[in-house]
């Protein structure tokens, strides 16, 4: 079943604990460290545009790519309220196309864990490398094997709010490294009536070694891997890792 359809309408409600502000500070710090102080930046798997808006406010010219029309509709509404000049494109990240190159590509909130085929991950990385300016920077995060196997796998998470609630069942296949999310969402629509939505999401865990190999196959230069958005190396119990890579080998940009 296609993900982020019914869930899109309540996504921001249930994600209000995500520290997008801190993530934005961490990303802009990395970008500036490698000379990207302005210019075009692609938010790959941008969702409802929360980080896209913050990066636009930080002075970057933003492009957002996501495969969910419902999520992009919410991002568009945020753009109308903020007045930021953000270009949103409804595209699958395995096949995305831009009009030219960008100074940096960012992808957060485990968007790349949705790429469950390692060959497809290489494809995404190749596209990123293709659309980066010479020496352009790629910053992305991923949930870890530890998080899926220890914290999420075979667990049920539920949350009940006045206007919506959800039941989130997890099943983790350690051999295949696939985590299955079964989401039942209940959204208040008319008075005391609620509409039920059901979605199934699939995410894959990748080890640091697998990520480095995929980056190398795609022609990207691996720079570093960190615990979350810190500057510390990943630990055995890291729940989220951030990876920094760089375009290499391109003599001139596409533009």
Is residue 252 scored above 60 in pLDDT? no
pLDDT (mean) for 18-22: 91
pLDDT at residue number 253: 42
Mean pLDDT of the chain: 91
- Is residue 51 within a helix (H) or strand (E), and if so which, with residue range? helix 50-57
- Is residue 58 within a helix (H) or strand (E), and if so which, with residue range? none
Model pLDDT for residues 160-194, shown as the tens digit of each residue: 887 788 888 999 999 999 999 898 888 888 777 88
pLDDT at residue number 186: 86
Q: What's the Cα-to-Cα distance from 29 to each of 33, 58, 139, rounded to whole Å?
A: 6, 11, 11
pLDDT at residue number 3: 54
Cβ-based neighbour number of residue 203 at 10 Å = 23
pLDDT at residue number 241: 97
pLDDT at residue number 18: 85
42 pLDDT band (50/70/90 cuts)? very high
4 pLDDT band (50/70/90 cuts)? low
Domains defined along the chain, listed by start:
6-143+206-246 (3.40.50.150), 147-204 (2.20.25.110)
Model pLDDT for residues 101-156, shown as the tens digit of each residue: 999 999 999 999 999 999 999 999 999 999 999 999 999 999 999 999 999 888 89
How far apart CA 145 and CA 142 sit, in angstroms, is 10
pLDDT at residue number 9: 64
* Cβ contact 235:227 at 8 Å: yes
Counting residues of the chain whose pLDDT is more than 70, the rounded percentage is: 93
């Amino acid at each position: 079943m296609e993900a982020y359809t019914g869930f899109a309408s309540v996504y921001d409600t249930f994600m209000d604990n995500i520290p997008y502000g801190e993530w934005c500070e961490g990303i802009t710090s990395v970008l500036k460290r490698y000379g990207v102080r302005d210019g075009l930046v692609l938010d790959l798997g941008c969702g409802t545009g929360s980080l896209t808006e913050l990066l636009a406010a930080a002075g970057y010219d933003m492009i957002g790519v996501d495969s969910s029309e419902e999520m992009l509709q919410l991002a568009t509404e945020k753009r109308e309220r903020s007045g930021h000049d953000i270009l949103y494109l409804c595209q699958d990240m395995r096949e995305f196309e831009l009009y030219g190159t960008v100074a940096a590509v960012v992808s957060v909130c485990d968007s790349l864990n949705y790429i469950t085929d390692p060959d497809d991950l290489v494809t995404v990385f190749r596209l990123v490398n293709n659309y980066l300016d010479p020496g352009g920077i790629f910053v992305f995060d991923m949930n870890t094997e530890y998080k899926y196997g220890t914290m999420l796998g075979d667990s049920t998470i539920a949350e009940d709010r006045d206007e919506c609630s959800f039941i989130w069942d997890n099943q983790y296949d350690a051999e295949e490294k696939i985590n299955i999310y079964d989401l039942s969402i209940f959204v208040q629509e008319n008075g005391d009536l609620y509409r039920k939505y059901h979605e199934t999401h699939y995410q894959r865990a990748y080890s640091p070694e697998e990520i480095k190999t995929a980056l190398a196959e795609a022609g990207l230069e691996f720079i570093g891997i960190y615990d979350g958005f810190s500057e510390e190396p990943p630990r055995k119990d890291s729940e989220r890792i951030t990876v920094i890579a760089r375009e290499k080998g391109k003599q001139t940009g596409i533009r």
